[in-house]
Structure 1
Amino acid sequence: MNERLKNLRESLNISQETLGEKINVTRSHISSIEKGKRSLTDRIIADICREFNVNEDWLRNGTQPMFIEPDTFSLDEYVKQKGATDFELEIIKAFFEMDPEIRKAATEQFKASLLSKLANTNELAATKKESFEDYKKKELEAYALELEAESKGEISSASEKLKDA
C-alpha cells in the first residue's frame, strides 16, 4: 500500500504536503507512510479515496483501476489531475463567471494570440529550413568550383572566391 500511495501522489502530480493537507495529516506523516515506517489507517484510506476518487480496492490490494470514474464531471478534479495550480483553477472559474460578451471577446483575443504565435513558429521553422537549403546550395557551388579549379590545375580555393562574391 505504501508504494501505491506514492504512485498515486505522483500520478496526481501533487506534493506530499498537498496530499497531507487534503487528508488532514502532515507532510512528514505522508513521507513515513511512503517509506513504510507507518501504515495507512482506515481513516486515511477513506479520506484518500473520497478526495481523489481512488478505487479503495486498488489502494489496499492493487486491483485496477486506480481511479473510480465519478458519475459527474468535475472540472476542479480534471484540471488538478492535469497538474493545474490552484491559481490556474481560480482563473478558469473566474473566466466562467464573466459576462458572456466579455468571455467571448477574451476567447477571440486568446484565439488570435494563439494563432499568431503558431504562425510565427511555422514561419521560423520555414526560415530555418530555407536558410539550410541556401547554405547547402552555396556549399555545393563552392565545392563544384574547387573541383573545377583542381581539374585545371589552379591552386586557389574556389570557396574563397565565393565568399568574396
Structure 2
Amino acid sequence: MGYRIRKLRKTLDLTQKEFGRRIGIKGNTVAQYELGRSNPVDSVVSLIIREYNVSEEWLRNGEGEMFRPAPSSALEQLAKDYNLSNAASKIIEKFVTLKPEKRKELLDLFLEIAKVLEESDIDTSTPAIPENQFPNFSQDSLIETIRQNVPKTPEELEKRFPPIEPRSNTNTG
C-alpha cells in the first residue's frame, strides 16, 4: 500500500507534510507508510479515501482506477438510471455534499414529513414548486427553513394545504 500512497501523493503534487496535514497525520508518518515500515490503520485509509477521492480497491489492492468517479458523473448516471428531473438531481447533489451531521438532521426531518404524509390524503405526485423556482439556500438556512415550515400535525398540514376536490368527469355545457 505504501507504493500506492506515494503514487497518489506524487500524482496530487503534494509533499509528505501537505498530504499528511490534510488527513491529520504527520509528514514523517506518511514517509513510514510510503517506505513500507508501517501500514495505515483503517481509519487513516478511510480518511485518505474520503479526502483524496481515491478508490478503496485501488488503494488497498492496486486494482481498478486510482480515483473514484467524480460526484457529478456519478450523479449524472444516477439521474439517467432513475429518470430524475433536474430538481431531483440538484436536491441529491446538495444532500450528498452536506456534512454528515447535517445529512442526519435533514434525514430526520424527511422522516417526520413522510410520517405526516402517510397519515394524510395528500397527493404527492405533483410537485408543489416548479423546478425552475427552487430557492438557493445555504446548508443551515435550508434545514432551518424546512424545519420551520413543516406542519407538525396532519391537521396543520391540511389547514395549510387544503385537499383539492377531485375533478368531475361530466361535461357541463
User: With structure 1 as the length reference, what TM-score do the two structures score?
Assistant: 0.43
Higher share in helix: 1
